């Protein structure tokens, strides 16, 4: 049995699919042309078939725009000029086919990559992708391909990127385990939005399993059992069944209001990463979207997304939410989130460095494009915009001024823009929490990002398993910062929400309600349970609980207090 971090709740039992592509060595060898030409032709045909299968499978799951990538790949695979060059090299140089493909493709890739035009640069990535597939077919090594999975399995990988997870078909991918990551890392957040059980930070799992092993994935307790005995399997089948029943029973809370027994209403909203997540948001009875992490739009793209690309995505989310509140966060890149096409100079402490609003206030071209797209989309719903990683009032005021400038420009151009857009900020840096009463005079709302607020308050990297004991949402110091933020907002008649992972923790609902938090935004799958809890609490008692909690000395003391008060 291996231990990891339960990142997305559930239990599942299935065979292992190891997601790792073996490296192939491409060296020049003398070879007989006819055989090599035959190998090349077959590899091209096979690659075309692969791409068509991947495209068909993705239909319905991906947008037309995303599907167009596969058409571009088919064009490369069928490109006569590229094929002729490879064939000429095979015959004139008497070399092996994979070497000819590698050389010819290498020249094209270098040429496209050196171009200034973003569209042309993207073509380099297409050529690389397709010709790699052709090379693997020539040498007869199977490429790992998540979208080609057609049997029920549990994926075991070192890590999964957002684009990897986007390819997963829930019909077959029953869950996943990765070697790295924590509860607030990206793969964890994506797993929750996919609603499949997942364990992250499970060191050594790749080495411990082989393809076809049976795994029991207990993503309630973060345990992975490899080839367990019959009794263990039977035990977990029972747990899986009970969990499924519990999830089903929670559906009764879907259309209920989120209100305490003494009539205090809170808003339960959902966090999303892509417009496709909205289905689950609605299915789980969310009252709005409290955090749309727009960086996935940038991370799943090969170049900076255009104003139009962004407009389409934002409009889709706003329209599908049917006038419920949608809080969109502007680009939060840097730290652990990198864009291959936007290199950032290496820094000693990237989490404390050039990121999020700091980058946007420097690269105002990127920022303005996003704000324009948001402003244009604003007429399709109830939009709130928030800036990430704000440390000072000057930063907030500068960002807001740029927003106002773009708004004025659009109105002058005759473009319709909503006049009720709220502009707020994330409270992720202790300096902002301490000065919340001042921020509340200029901002429309706050959303507390506890994932970062805790790491900065405790000076403990959220990605590091070694210091994860310091990730203490219930530490009274964190509760006091949360209280300052909420009180600061309320003093000016503004609302305060929370979109860090703490908002969806069952144990935290009581104390956060008592502190007066107005909006709780969490992964969609946590909402019904949160509502069940909220509906069972008394606001008056929770206020008393919160008063006591902030006077506690340790995290454990707070947790004991909660467990003794809330049964």
Is residue 290 part of the contact set for Mg ion (CB under 5 A)?
no
Number of H helices, E strands in the chain: 23, 16
Is residue 385 within 8 Å of 375, Cβ to Cβ?
no
In 132-222 the beta strands, taken as DSSP E runs, fall at: 153-157, 173-178, 198-200, 214-218
Q: What is the H or E stretch that residue 125 is in?
A: helix 118-139
Is residue 452 part of the contact set for ligand PEP (CB under 6 A)?
yes
Contact with Mg ion (CB under 5 A) among 452, 461, 505, 519: 452
Q: Which of 153, 360, 384, 499 is catalytic?
A: 499
CB of 348 to Mg ion, least distance (A): 20
Pick the closer one to ligand PEP by CB: 127 or 499: 499
**Near ligand PEP in 278-317, by CB under 6 A:** 291, 293
195's contact among Mg ion, ligand PEP, none, with CB below 5 to 8 A by partner kind, is none
Is residue 428 part of the contact set for ligand PEP (CB under 6 A)?
yes
Stretch that binds ligand PEP, among 14-22, 252-260, 299-307, 447-455 (CB under 6 A): 447-455
Is residue 183 part of the contact set for ligand PEP (CB under 6 A)?
no
Pick the closer one to Mg ion by CB: 218 or 452: 452
Q: Which residue has the tokens 């793209």?
A: 301
Pick the closer one to Mg ion by CB: 156 or 453: 453
Stretch that binds ligand PEP, among 144-152, 172-180, 278-286, 445-453 (CB under 6 A): 445-453
Contact with Mg ion (CB under 5 A) among 162, 175, 449, 488: 449
Quick check: is 137 catalytic? no
Q: Are strands 445-448 and 422-427 parallel, antiparallel or unpaired?
A: parallel
Residues 6+ apart with CB under 8 A from 464: 182
Contact with ligand PEP (CB under 6 A) among 381, 449, 476, 504: 449
153: left (phi over 0), alpha (psi -120 to 50) or beta: beta
| Interaction pattern, residues 411-430, with Mg ion; x per rule: CB under 5 A | -----------------x--
Is residue 450 part of the contact set for ligand PEP (CB under 6 A)?
yes
**Closest by Cα among 526, 529, 527, 521 to 325:** 521
293's contact among ligand PEP, Mg ion, none, with CB below 5 to 8 A by partner kind, is ligand PEP
- ∠ CA 532-535-540, rounded to 5°: 140
Pick the closer one to Mg ion by CB: 240 or 452: 452
Pick the closer one to ligand PEP by CB: 130 or 272: 272
Is residue 473 part of the contact set for Mg ion (CB under 5 A)?
no
Tokens linked to 199: 């364990």
- Distance CA(530)–CA(502), nearest Å, equals 12
Q: Are strands 5-8 and 198-200 parallel, antiparallel or unpaired?
A: antiparallel
Stretch that binds ligand PEP, among 15-23, 62-70, 80-88, 446-454 (CB under 6 A): 446-454
Contact with ligand PEP (CB under 6 A) among 4, 182, 285, 500: 500
Stretch that binds ligand PEP, among 302-310, 430-438, 443-451, 468-476 (CB under 6 A): 443-451
Contact with ligand PEP (CB under 6 A) among 58, 250, 499, 509: 499
Starting at the edge strand that comes first in sequence, how are the strands of the sheet with 198-200 ordered? 2-3, 223-226, 214-218, 11-18, 153-157, 173-178, 198-200, 5-8
Pick the closer one to ligand PEP by CB: 293 or 407: 293
- Distance CA(76)–CA(152), nearest Å, equals 32
Is residue 523 part of the contact set for ligand PEP (CB under 6 A)?
no
CB of 335 to ligand PEP, least distance (A): 7
Tokens linked to 276: 């496709």
Pick the closer one to ligand PEP by CB: 276 or 452: 452
- Distance CA(555)–CA(173), nearest Å, equals 37
Is residue 218 part of the contact set for Mg ion (CB under 5 A)?
no
Is residue 381 part of the contact set for Mg ion (CB under 5 A)?
no
Pick the closer one to ligand PEP by CB: 58 or 328: 328
Shortest-Cβ-distance residue relative to Mg ion: 452
CB of 293 to ligand PEP, least distance (A): 5
SS (H, E, C) 507-549: CHHHHHHHHCCCEEEECHHHHHHHHHHHHHCCHHHHHHHHHHH
Stretch that binds ligand PEP, among 96-104, 149-157, 218-226, 448-456 (CB under 6 A): 448-456
The pair phi, psi for residue 551, each rounded to 5°, is -95, -5
Is residue 558 within 8 Å of 511, Cβ to Cβ?
yes
The string of DSSP codes covering 335-369 is TTB--TTS-----S-GGGSS-HHHHHHH-HHHHHH
Residues 6+ apart with CB under 8 A from 374: 310, 314, 328, 330, 383, 385
462's contact among ligand PEP, Mg ion, none, with CB below 5 to 8 A by partner kind, is none
The pair phi, psi for residue 461, each rounded to 5°, is -55, 125
Is residue 181 part of the contact set for ligand PEP (CB under 6 A)?
no
Q: Which residue has the tokens 């590698």?
A: 102
Is residue 276 part of the contact set for Mg ion (CB under 5 A)?
no
Pick the closer one to Mg ion by CB: 42 or 468: 468
Contact with ligand PEP (CB under 6 A) among 131, 167, 184, 485: 184
**How many CA atoms are closer than 13 Å to the CA of 205, on its beta-carbon side?**
36
Residues paired with 267 in a beta bridge:
519
Q: Which of 73, 137, 186, 264 is catalytic?
A: 186
CB of 305 to ligand PEP, least distance (A): 18
Tokens linked to 319: 């329209």
Pick the closer one to Mg ion by CB: 62 or 384: 384
Is residue 295 part of the contact set for Mg ion (CB under 5 A)?
no
- Distance CA(525)–CA(519), nearest Å, equals 16
Quick check: is 153 catalytic? no
Contacts with Mg ion by CB under 5 A lie at: 428, 449, 452
Which of the residues are catalytic?
Answer: 186, 499
Contact set with ligand PEP (CB under 6 A):
184, 291, 293, 332, 428, 449-452, 499-500
């Amino acid at each position: 049995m291996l231990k990891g971090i339960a990142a997305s709740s559930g239990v599942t039992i299935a065979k292992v699919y190891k997601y790792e592509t073996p490296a192939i060595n491409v060296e020049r060898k003398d070879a007989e042309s006819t055989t090599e030409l035959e190998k090349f032709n077959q590899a091209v045909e096979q690659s075309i078939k692969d791409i068509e299968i991947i495209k068909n499978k993705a239909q319905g799951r991906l947008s037309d725009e995303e599907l167009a990538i596969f058409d571009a790949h088919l064009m490369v695979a069928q490109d006569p000029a590229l094929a002729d060059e490879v064939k000429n090299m095979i015959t004139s140089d008497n070399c092996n086919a994979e070497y000819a493909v590698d050389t010819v493709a290498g020249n094209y890739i270098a040429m496209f990559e050196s171009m200034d035009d973003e569209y042309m640069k993207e073509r380099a990535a297409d050529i690389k992708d397709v010709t790699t597939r052709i090379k693997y077919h020539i040498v007869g090594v199977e490429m790992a391909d998540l979208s080609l999975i057609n049997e029920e399995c549990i994926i075991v990988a070192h890590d999964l990127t957002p684009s990897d997870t986007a390819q997963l078909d829930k019909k077959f991918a029953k869950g996943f385990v990765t070697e790295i990551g924590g509860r607030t890392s990206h793969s964890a957040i994506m797993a929750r939005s996919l609603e499949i059980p997942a364990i992250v930070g499970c060191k050594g799992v790749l080495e411990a399993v082989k393809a076809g092993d049976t795994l029991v994935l207990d993503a309630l307790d973060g345990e992975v059992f490899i080839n367990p005995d019959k009794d263990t399997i039977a035990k977990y089948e029972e747990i899986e069944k009970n969990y499924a029943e519990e999830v089903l029973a929670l559906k009764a809370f879907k259309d209920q209001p989120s209100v305490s027994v003494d009539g205090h209403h809170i808003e339960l909203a959902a966090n999303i990463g892509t417009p496709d997540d909205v289905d689950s948001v609605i299915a789980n009875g969310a009252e709005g979207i409290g955090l749309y992490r727009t960086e996935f739009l940038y991370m799943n793209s090969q170049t900076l997304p255009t104003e139009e690309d962004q407009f389409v995505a934002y409009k889709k989310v706003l329209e599908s939410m049917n006038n419920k509140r949608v809080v969109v966060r502007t680009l939060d890149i840097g730290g652990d989130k990198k864009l291959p096409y936007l290199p950032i100079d290496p820094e000693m402490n990237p989490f404390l460095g050039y990121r999020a609003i700091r980058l946007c206030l420097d690269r105002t071209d990127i920022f303005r494009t996003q704000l324009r797209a948001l402003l244009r989309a604003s007429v399709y719903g109830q939009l709130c915009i928030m800036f990430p990683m704000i440390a000072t009032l000057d930063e907030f005021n500068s960002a807001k001024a740029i927003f106002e400038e773009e708004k004025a420009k659009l109105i002058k151009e005759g473009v319709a823009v909503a006049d009720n857009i709220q502009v707020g900020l994330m409270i992720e840096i202790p300096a902002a929490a301490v000065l919340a009463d001042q921020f509340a005079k200029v901002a429309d709302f706050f959303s507390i990002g506890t994932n970062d607020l805790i790491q900065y308050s405790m000076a403990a990297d959220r990605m590091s398993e070694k210091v994860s004991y310091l990730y203490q949402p219930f530490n009274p110091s964190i509760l006091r910062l949360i209280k300052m933020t909420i009180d600061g907002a309320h003093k000016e008649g503004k609302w305060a929400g929370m979109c860090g992972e703490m908002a969806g923790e069952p144990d935290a609902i009581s104390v956060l309600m008592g502190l007066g938090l107005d909006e709780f935004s969490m992964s969609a799958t946590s909402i019904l349970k949160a509502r069940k809890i909220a509906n069972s609490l008394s606001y008056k008692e929770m206020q008393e609980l919160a008063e006591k909690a902030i006077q506690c000395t340790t995290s454990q003391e707070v947790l004991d207090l909660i467990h003794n008060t809330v049964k």
